[in-house]
């Protein structure tokens, strides 16, 4: 992928994350998961929050006001967006972006496809995402001895005695994204031994390997949740 398109996509993802964060704040919600639940109980495809009009469509949303126009398809998991070449190209043209060569969705798709072949991106459910490269990760120092894992996420907490599923999660979590601390949907994993915290680390479903994410999802689903 050419650096020019990489920068365009990175800025696009950041802009989507920003308007979605403002939307959550305005609706008094904490996460994308809560937004889906909100949608189930509130009819309508248009609403205004903090001076931004949101228009839900198909698999995505438009956020617009007098100063901006952003269009995206929702990504999987906690990812607010993935890259739909047609939507990105149409948005660039609508905004009269200086990079007129990328008004062509076919060109964007070709560069994304090549990036996927090179391991820079991957495709899932029809959308493209950047791959987290090994140089962008660190090796976590999970403790070998602990008896309890506490998982905290906003107002929720799970207290889980050590079990085989947690041990599998640790084995699969060989590398973690360097900037996971900045996650928009951050959990905290606290490892406890004899009543004392001996290690903690942020967690989300983006900065960990997908095998580890699947295991942690099952752990949380199968464990009763407490309110802080």
Pairwise CA distance, residues 133 & 162, whole Å: 30
**Same-domain check for residues 54 and 73:** yes
Indicate the residue among 105, 131, 157 that finishes a domain. 131
Identify the CA nearest to 124 among candidates 75, 54, 169.
75
**Same-domain check for residues 80 and 192:** no
* pLDDT range class, residue 13, cuts 50, 70, 90: very high
DSSP state of 179: T
**Same-domain check for residues 222 and 121:** no
**Same-domain check for residues 23 and 99:** yes
**Same-domain check for residues 173 and 74:** no
* pLDDT range class, residue 225, cuts 50, 70, 90: low
Residue 1 pLDDT > 60, yes or no?
Answer: yes
**Same-domain check for residues 199 and 152:** yes
Residue 226 pLDDT > 70, yes or no?
Answer: no
Q: Can you give the residue range of the structural domain that contains 127?
A: 3-131
The CB density around residue 4, as the number of other CB atoms within 10 Å, is: 12
Q: What is the 3-state secondary structure (H, E, C) of 43-102?
A: CCCEEEECCEEEEEECCEEEEEECCEEEEEECCCCCCCCEECHHHHHHHHHHCCCCCHHH
Residue 190 pLDDT > 70, yes or no?
Answer: yes
Structure token digits, residue 200: 């903690």
**Helix 85-94 to helix 3-27 angle, to the nearest 10 degrees?**
90
**68-73 and 52-57: which strand pairing?**
unpaired
User: Which tens digits make up the pLDDT trace of 50-105?
Assistant: 899 999 998 999 999 999 999 999 999 999 999 999 999 999 999 999 999 999 99
């Amino acid at each position: 992928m050419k650096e020019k398109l990489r920068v365009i996509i990175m800025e696009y993802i950041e802009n989507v994350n920003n308007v979605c964060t403002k939307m959550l704040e305005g609706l008094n919600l904490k996460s994308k998961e809560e937004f889906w639940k909100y949608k189930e109980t509130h009819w309508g495809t248009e609403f205004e929050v903090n001076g931004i009009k949101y228009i839900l469509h198909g698999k995505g949303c438009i956020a617009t006001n007098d100063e901006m126009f952003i269009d995206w398809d929702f990504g999987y998991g906690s990812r607010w967006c993935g890259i739909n070449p047609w939507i990105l190209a149409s948005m660039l043209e609508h905004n009269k972006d200086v990079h007129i060569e990328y008004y062509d969705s076919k060109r964007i798709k070709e560069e994304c496809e090549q990036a996927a072949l090179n391991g820079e991106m991957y495709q899932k459910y029809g959308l493209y995402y950047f791959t987290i490269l090994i140089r962008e990760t660190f090796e976590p120092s999970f403790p070998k001895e602990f008896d309890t894992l506490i998982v905290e996420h906003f107002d929720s907490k799970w207290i889980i005695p050590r079990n085989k599923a947690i041990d599998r999660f640790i084995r699969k979590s060989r590398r973690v994204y360097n900037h996971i601390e900045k996650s928009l949907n951050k959990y905290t994993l606290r490892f406890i031994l004899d009543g004392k915290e001996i290690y903690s680390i942020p967690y989300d479903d983006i900065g960990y390997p997908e095998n580890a994410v699947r295991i942690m999802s099952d752990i949380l689903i199968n464990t009763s949740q407490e309110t802080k």
